[in-house]
Structure 1
Amino acid sequence: MSDGESRPRPQYGEYATPEEQRARIQRPEVTEALEAGVAPPAEPAPAADSAPRVRGPLADRIATFVLLAYGLVSIVSTIVQLQDFPGYAERAAQILGVDATYTALSAGYVWGAAASVIYGVGYVLTAWLTWRRLRRGRIAFWIPLVGFVATTLLAGVCVTIALTADPAFLSALTGVVAN
């Protein structure tokens, strides 16, 4: 009696190739065909649109969409206000209780427009990165928060440059802050 005859017939596919094992696990009709001694049916090609979509936690998706919606409303209103930078600066001074007139009009319009572009591009970039992360089923609520901070810091630099272009206005503002 040789080793092949004394050994019991495999029952669990230990001699199956990895491809055969995967086929049997994923498609029961392959198992039936192999047990019947028939060539297994060809594996159907997956459709391009049938790629599985992974979804992250519902609470994360809700929080992410709420943050993006709030950000959109905030960005649009800020961009509209920055288009009239002298008015924007004077409203900021009024909030601080200062009666000052912004007079560096050309610098205000240029830097206000630059801040508007930064806000717009920052929002679009944030929304795109958020969408990519959500499509992968990963936690994404933090991306709008980081995008807000980064965009606000960059746009704040532009607003600060515009405010420092008018020394009298800046002096009136710093006088209030010093007191």
Structure 2
Amino acid sequence: MLLAYGLVTVIMSAISYLDVASVMNESMRMLGIDGEFTNYGQGKIWGVVAGIVLIVGWMLTAAMSVLRLRSGRLTWWVPVAGAVVFTLLAAAALTVPMFGDPAFAAYLSRAAGS
């Protein structure tokens, strides 16, 4: 069940990362940042990277789960650990275009100056 839920989540996330500008705009809105995401070049590249990280991560997690199941060992924790690891890696990929965005940089400089 965890792998099935993870697959749906990975597919939906990977599709949304193809339009990373809307994802970043929503993130900036939730953080209370004025302005819009304009770092489209890096956003497109790193959005694809984040999507690939999630897809490959799910495939590795599923393969490891199947191998552990076949050997009769506990497997429930593998999808949980895989979700944490690969979600963090995808999030790290998405921070690259976010930190390169002028509106986010201005927000950080205001926050550091306060």
Same fold (TM over 0.5): yes
2:71 pairs with 1:160: no
Alignment-mate amino acid for residue 149 of structure 1: V
Q: Per chain length, whose mean CA-contact separation is higher, i.e. which structure has more relative contact order (CA < 8 Å, sep 6+)?
A: 2
Whether contact under 8 Å (1:98, 1:173) holds in the other structure is no
Match of 1:143 among 45, 53, 78: 78
Alignment-mate amino acid for residue 166 of structure 1: D
CA RMSD in angstroms, aligned pairs only: 2.0
Structure 2 regions of 5+ residues with no counterpart? none
Q: Paired residue for 2:45?
A: 110
More helix by share: 2
> Structure 1 residues 131 and 73, CA, compared in 2 at 3 Å: closer, same or farther?
same
Whether contact under 8 Å (2:39, 2:100) holds in the other structure is yes
Q: Deviations over 1:61-100 (max 9, x none)?
A: xxxxx21111111111111111001111001122233342
SS of 2:32 mapped into structure 1: coil
Alignment-mate amino acid for residue 171 of structure 1: A
Match of 2:62 among 103, 127, 135: 127
Query: Percent of aligned pairs with the same residue?
Result: 35
Normalising by structure 2, what TM-score?
0.88
Normalising by structure 1, what TM-score?
0.58
Whether contact under 8 Å (1:96, 1:176) holds in the other structure is no
Aligned length: 114
Q: Paired residue for 1:88?
A: 23
Whether contact under 8 Å (2:33, 2:104) holds in the other structure is no
User: Which is higher, the Rg of structure 1 or of structure 2?
Assistant: 1
Whether contact under 8 Å (1:75, 1:120) holds in the other structure is yes
Instruction: Write the mapping of 1:30-49 to structure 2, written as runs, cut at 5 A.
Output: none
Question: How far apart, CA to CA, are the structure 1 residues paired with 2:112 and 2:2?
Answer: 32
Match of 1:172 among 104, 107, 113: 107
Question: How far apart, CA to CA, are the structure 1 residues paired with 2:111 and 2:62?
Answer: 38
Query: Deviation above 6 Å: which 4+ runs of structure 1?
Result: 176-179
Question: How far apart, CA to CA, are the structure 1 residues paired with 2:109 and 2:32?
Answer: 12
Structure 1 regions of 5+ residues with no counterpart? 1-65
Question: How far apart, CA to CA, are the structure 1 residues paired with 2:112 and 2:55?
Answer: 30
